[in-house]
Amino acid sequence: MIPWLHPARLEFPPVHTALEEPNGLLAAGGDLRPDRILAAYRNGIFPWFNDDEPILWWSPDPRCVLIPSELHISRSLRKTLRKQHYSVTFDTAFAEVIAACAAPRTYSAGTWISPRMQNAYLELHRLGHGHSVEVWMEDQLVGGLYGLAIGGVFFGESMFSTRTDASKIAFAHLVEHLKNWGYALIDCQVYNDHLASLGAREIPRPTFIAQLNKLLQLQPEHEWRASHCFQHEGSAS
């Protein structure tokens, strides 16, 4: 039995009390107001639930992460980055990106990015915590991702692509900028082959929490700028 969160308090149970099956389920209830979500992420916890379920909070073990310096760009992706005509922007179409991430996929008609989740992260974006990366081709949004930046950690939430490698283009550009800005860790939450192909790997939850506690104290010096857009016809860094 998992605990039910008190609606008036922001405390979460210790992450080591999360269930082993399903892996990482920690608590239920509460709400999606910004201070609760931020408190969750600062403790290595995130919300993930279907629209017909109560709010569920998770802290899986192991945790999937990517160290910016360990980004892997395959030969085919490097070729795409070098030759394909596209532009990349930051924070110019957050609402459109999260809506696209929530759209039904070919392999699933449902989505966990419910209207409640979209509204919660749109508010976090308005407050300066939520950020998006957009990939454009001929003025059409064809790929992107969104997540939260807290301290020296970027917490990735979801990505989408309507053209081959568009989400990987977004991720590669994000990682390169995070590395230059002084971010030391990208939280990918749960392992999948797509993330692994880009260099993500699993680490034990205690290791993740220890790194998180240190990196939350960092204040990277940078500015997420809506005007930050660049074309790529040459090689990518």
Domains and CATH numbers, the chain: 4-60 (3.30.70.3550), 64-231 (3.40.630.70)
pLDDT of amino acid 172: 93
User: Cα(135)–Cα(205) distance, rounded to whole angstroms?
Assistant: 32
The Cβ of residue 13 has, within 10 Å, a number of other Cβ atoms equal to 16
- CA 235: distance to chain centroid? 26
Find how far residue 115's CA is from the centre of its chain: 17
pLDDT at 81 (0 to 100) = 87
Nearest to 145 by CA among 159, 166, 127, 162: 159
Within 13 Å and on the Cβ side, how many CA atoms surround 188? 24
pLDDT on residue 85? 81
Write the burial class of residue 168 (CB in 10 Å: 0-12 exposed, 13-18 middle, 19+ buried). buried
Q: What integer pLDDT is reported at residue 223 of this predicted model?
A: 78
Tokens of 164: 């081959």
Pairing of strands 25-29, 4-5: parallel
For residue 176, give both structure tokens.
């390169």
Answer whether 5's CB lies under 8 Å from 28's CB: yes
Whether 203 contacts 63, CB under 8 Å: yes
Q: What angle do CA 111, 101, 116 make, to 5 degrees?
A: 55
- pTM of this prediction? 0.91
Pairwise CA distance, residues 190 & 194, whole Å: 11
130 DSSP assignment: E
One digit per residue, the tens of pLDDT, for the chain of length 237 reads 899 999 889 999 999 999 999 999 999 999 999 999 999 999 999 999 998 899 999 999 999 999 999 999 999 888 888 876 889 999 999 999 999 999 976 544 457 899 999 999 999 999 999 999 999 998 999 999 999 999 999 999 999 999 999 999 999 999 999 999 999 999 999 999 989 999 999 999 999 999 999 999 998 878 786 433 334 443 333
Q: What is the pLDDT of residue 227?
A: 39
Q: Helices H, strands E: what count in the chain?
A: 7, 12
